[in-house]
Amino acid sequence: MSDFVLTIFDLTRQDPKTLQERTLKLGEEAGELAQAVLTVTNAPGSTYKSHTLADVREEAADAAIVALSVLAQTCETREEFEAELDRLMTAKCAKWQEKLKDDVSTR
């Protein structure tokens, strides 16, 4: 497992946020990511801001960190966090891959 993933677990343990607070923070980060994407893609009503793809990457990283922190908060140990992250990512990626296959076959 990458060092940064274990760092997220450790930092989550040090951070006093409740699960509810952390989940609300994830919503905030998702909103910031959406705002950056809307600006970069010149969506109507968002061109007054100036974001770049670097901003999109940064906001995506922020959202990913908070999402992993939500997962970490639901686990008792680093080992459980690592196992759950591996299990969930494997299952969710397989589901996505299967969906893509289905989408291609229906075209």
- Contacts of residue 53, defined as CB under 8 A and 6 or more positions apart, other chains included, come to 40
- 76-94: per-residue pLDDT in tens? 999 999 999 999 999 999 9
- 44-56: per-residue pLDDT in tens? 988 788 899 999 9
d(CA 5, CA 72): 9
Closest CA to 37 of 20, 48, 51: 51
pTM of the model: 0.90
